[in-house]
Structure 1
Amino acid sequence: MKWVHWYVPVTNRATGRYAIGVAVSDSPTGPFRDALGHPLVENNEIDPTVFIDDDGQAYLYWGNPNLWYLKLNSDMTSYSGGPARIPLTTAGFGTRDGDPNRPTLFEEGPWVYKRNGLYYLVFAAKCCSEFIAYSTAPGPTGPWTYRGTIMPTQGSSFTNHPGVIDFNGGSYFFYHNGALPGGGGFTRSVAVEKFDYSADGGFPTINMTAAGAPQAGTLNPYVRQEAETIAWGSGIETEPSGEGGMNVGWIENGDWIKVKGAAFGSGAASFTARVASAGSGGTIELRLDGSTGRVVGSCQVPVTGGWQSWTSVSCSVNGATGTRDLYLRFTGGSGYLFNVNWWQFNAAA
């Protein structure tokens, strides 16, 4: 079996020190379990990231205030040798002003990857508030050369950690902020922007936006879609489902889900949803282009006798054509109404 590994900063209750733990699962969505029953490595520093090089060698990087790495064994839960400290030089990680104890910009949250033969180390810089900077190297352990700022200090969170991937021919920069209602330094939300590298592999300046990355492709509403497939939402939460996976729950009157770019084509004839209710039941309103947009269908949800007592409900649909933003708006009485596990449209003949 191939395991999914999740490396996390933890506090060792026995010592009170920060450590790096590793959990495993047979699915990227969990459930995860502690792989070792003890920390993988402990030196009172945080923020792990893992990079696997072309030769199959895996590296674990972490650190605040220092920057560390070790070589993971093929089991990904043990390592050879001991932790090694990467020298934090101003040539490698930039110059921090005003703090003789932290001469470089490196703060925490390293993210390491390789692209076109060049190794990148993207990191949170100069607390507080942090910005995102990066360095590059010819090898996975250096020597590193500071390349500059990616995302300047901005937003309502004093901390900001990065992630960078290439996907379907595009490059994407992940970060966190406090942009959601009630957000801040310890109530963060994840965001993503699409970007293009320069000819020499450098980053452009990337700013936080409310729009985020463009949609990579349209969504097919004629195949089963999990209810937690959400571009945006209001009021709802997710929880483990008794039928496997997750479901959307804690639904109250007026809550809604936005599903972006649903490709209805020539039109939908009906809609089916998997629902459960130990509350009063209610209605799923199918609206286009806004939470108060035109209603193209309305499905009644009965009381099923339990929050995990699932049944399927269907209703007719009229006017859902082309590629549109779909809103599932939930209405009913007071309190929690019902749960939704999945949904699917059926095309008109």
Structure 2
Amino acid sequence: MKLAPRLAPRHAIAAMVSLLCIATLLPAVARADNPIVQHIYTADPAPLVHNGRVYLYTGHDEDGSTWFTMKEWRVWSSADMVNWTDHGSPLNLATFSWAKSDAWAGQAVYRNGKFYWYVPVTSRATGRYAIGVAVSDSPTGPFRDAIGRPLVENGEIDPSVFIDDNGQAYLYWGNPNLWYLRLNADMISYSGGPTQIPLTTAGFGTRTGDPNRPTLYEEGPWVYKRNGLYYNVFAAKCCSEFIAYSTAPGPTGPWTYRGTIMPTQGSSFTNHPGVIDFNGSSYFFYHNGALPGGGGYTRSVAVEKFSYNADGGFPTINMTTTGAPQIGTLNPYVRQEAETIAWGSGIETEPSSEGGMNIGWLANGDWIKVKGVAFGAGAASFSARVASAGSGGAIELRLDSPTGTVVGNCNVPVTGGWQTWTSVSCPVNGATGTHDLYLKFTGGSGNLFNVNWWQFN
């Protein structure tokens, strides 16, 4: 339930940005697709490819944070790398009765028909960092504590999990050290104990100026295998961090330092990698402080498409505001969740009483962009599922920009509650070919209405 006034913290942050900054930022924001989530701050990306979609597991930086104040993890997914669906928060600190704080960088993997999410938290009993594991039957949760206690606890963070071709799974983690252990096939227990990986300069590069940390390795390992070569991509040399990598002939080494992937940049003194192959291309996920109010404790996840060098090495990857190109197009003639967004302005999301999430806190002039919508020969009508305990309003359907051609206008009535849903429809004229679609929300003052889903006919 939402309480009046329906003003979200992100709105308050945006209001504090100076008029000059707004004038400078908004034109770029309207054209950009990076960072990939704009209505909350996200950090520590962990992508997972499953059944033709990329599921992205992230942390959530609280608005206005002056520390790594993180209480939950979030899930997003996309089939085209530009329109991302918000699946909400299926895992939080309260999931682990033994955890007290610090919902930091984790990773989810799929095995045996289940999804296992490994996350670092601070133990309530000991005050030390520990690694927990949650499990779900669905990539979007809900997740539950798989074992009711820490999987491993040695005061270090940032778990990464890799399953080798022979079925052996490994858990890697650590800051300031780097550890691994061999997980059993059940993914919630292990054989033997934690083994420390030697941090040699040959394996992880040379750091200068810090006698206590002779190598570049800092935190956030991301371990995977490609074409018979094992990769360890990691955050290097705090602070500010850059992303570097090492390779090895086997999952436990010996590691050889290969160089920088993403140089220091991006208005956040930390960074965190995630690397996948999807639909025949390679993608590099990271975070920065690019959104209004963003910084080292209010970060945002972004993604770049890249190609490996001929020898399997990484090219230099720089942060962009354009992000990855779209794979294919979006079909407007099947139901689309309103929380599937390439870029949004002024919106927020919340769990819907009808399942999934809905967008809300919609004020006059707010909008969402859905990229690469294939209307084909033309749409005849538009339908949406809406609710309003405010004043209602209208959904303007515009092409290619928030001020682009209007092809439809759907009135939204007052329904008597923010979760009291009804369906509305309206005629559409001029929506042909492939365009970026903007749903622009108009009406009086205050919060107008919520939207759960939409569809063209």
Normalized against structure 1, the TM-score is what?
0.97
DSSP-derived class of the 1:280 partner: coil
Which amino acid in the other structure matches residue 334 of structure 2?
V
The Cα of 1:246 is off from its aligned counterpart by 1.3
Counterparts of 2:276 and 2:170, CA distance in 1: 17
Say which SS state the counterpart of residue 47 (structure 1) adopts: coil
For 2:121 and 2:442, locate their aligned partners in 1 and report how far apart those are by CA, in whole Å: 41
Q: Which residue of 2 aligns with 1:189?
A: 300
Deviations 1:138-166 (A, max 9, x none): 11110000000000000100000000000
Q: 2:144 corresponds to which letter in structure 1?
A: R
Q: 1:242 aligns with which of 348, 353, 357?
A: 353
In the TM superposition, residue 131 of structure 1 has moved relative to its aligned partner by 0.2
The equivalent residue for 1:344 is 455
Determine the structure 2 residue equivalent to 1:307: 418
Pairing 1:132-211 to 2, within 5 Å after superposition: 132-211=243-322
1:320 is the counterpart of 2:431? yes
Q: Please name the residue that 2:171 is paired with.
A: 60
Residue 105 (structure 1) aligned to one of 216, 220, 223: 216
Inter-partner Cα distance in structure 2 for 1:334 and 1:73: 57
AA of the residue aligned to 1:37? G
Letter in 1 for 2:257: Y
Residue segments in structure 1 that go unaligned for 5+ positions in a row: none
Determine the C-alpha separation between the residues in 2 that align with 1:24 and 1:218. Answer: 33
Shift of 1:211: 0.3
Displacement of 1:254: 1.3
Q: Secondary structure at the match of 2:203?
A: helix
User: Aligned partners of 2:139, 2:444: CA distance in 1, in Å?
Assistant: 37
> 1:175-231 CA deviation, whole Å, 9 max, x = no partner?
000101111111110000000111110000000000001111111111111111101
Equivalents in 2 of 1:326, 1:38: separation in Å? 47
Distance 1:272 1:102 in 2: 59
Matches within 5 A, 1:285-300: 285-300=396-411
Residue 28 of structure 1 corresponds to which residue in structure 2? 139
Q: Is 2:336 the partner of 1:219?
A: no
Aligned equivalent of 2:207, options 89, 96, 99: 96
How far 1:124 sits from its partner (Å)?
0.2
Q: Residues of 2 paired with 1:3 and 1:308: CA distance?
A: 32
How far off is 1:339 after superposition? 1.2
Q: Which TM-score applies when normalising by structure 2?
A: 0.75
- Residue 122 in 1 paired to residue 210 in 2? no
- 1:78 pairs with 2:199: no
Identify which range, 34-43 or 225-234, moves more after superposition. Answer: 34-43
Give the distance between the partners of 1:281 and 1:188, measured in 2 at CA. 33
1:37 offset after TM fit, Å? 2.0
Deviations 1:106-128 (A, max 9, x none): 00000001000100000000000
Match of 1:16 in 2: 127
Tell me the residue number matched to 2:41.
none
Q: CA deviation at 1:2?
A: 2.5
Partner of 1:271: 382
Structure 1 Cα separation of the partners of residues 213 and 162 of structure 2: 26
User: How many angstroms apart in 1 are the aligned matches of 2:388 and 2:143?
Assistant: 28
SS at the partner of 2:341? coil
1:335 match: secondary structure: coil
CA distance in structure 1 between the partners assigned to 2:309 and 2:225 by the alignment: 15
2:443 to 328, 332, 339: 332
The alpha carbon displacement at 1:291 in A equals 1.0
User: Unmatched 5+ residue regions in structure 2?
Assistant: 1-111
What SS does the aligned partner of 2:150 have?
Answer: coil
1:9-42 superposed Cα distances (whole Å, 9 cap, x missing partner): 1010111111111112222222222222221111
For the residues of structure 1 that align with 2:169 and 2:188, how far apart are their CA atoms? 11
Runs of 4+ in structure 1 off by over 4 angstroms are none
Letter in 1 for 2:404: G
Q: Supply the RMSD in Å over aligned alpha carbons.
A: 1.0
What amino acid is the match of 1:66?
N
Give the distance between the partners of 1:79 and 1:299, measured in 2 at CA: 56
What letter matches 1:125 in structure 2?
A: A
Q: CA deviation at 1:3?
A: 2.1
Aligned equivalents of 1:164 and 1:200: distance in 2?
17
Q: Distance in 2 between matches of 1:206 and 1:139?
A: 25
Supply the distance in 2 between the matched residues of 1:335 and 1:73 (Cα, whole angstroms): 54
Q: Which has the higher helix share?
A: 2
**Partners of 2:137 and 2:275 in 1: CA distance:** 24
The AA in structure 2 aligned to 1:320 is A
- Residue of structure 1 equivalent to 2:162: 51
Aligned counterparts of 1:7 and 1:282: Cα–Cα separation in 2: 43
User: Aligned partners of 1:69 and 1:125: how far apart in 2?
Assistant: 18
More off after superposition, 26-35 vs 148-157? 26-35
How far the C-alpha of 1:79 sits from its partner, in A, is 1.3
How many Å separate the matches in 1 of 2:418 and 2:268? Answer: 36
* 2:356 alignment partner AA: G
**C-alpha distance in 1 between matches for 2:205 and 2:132:** 30
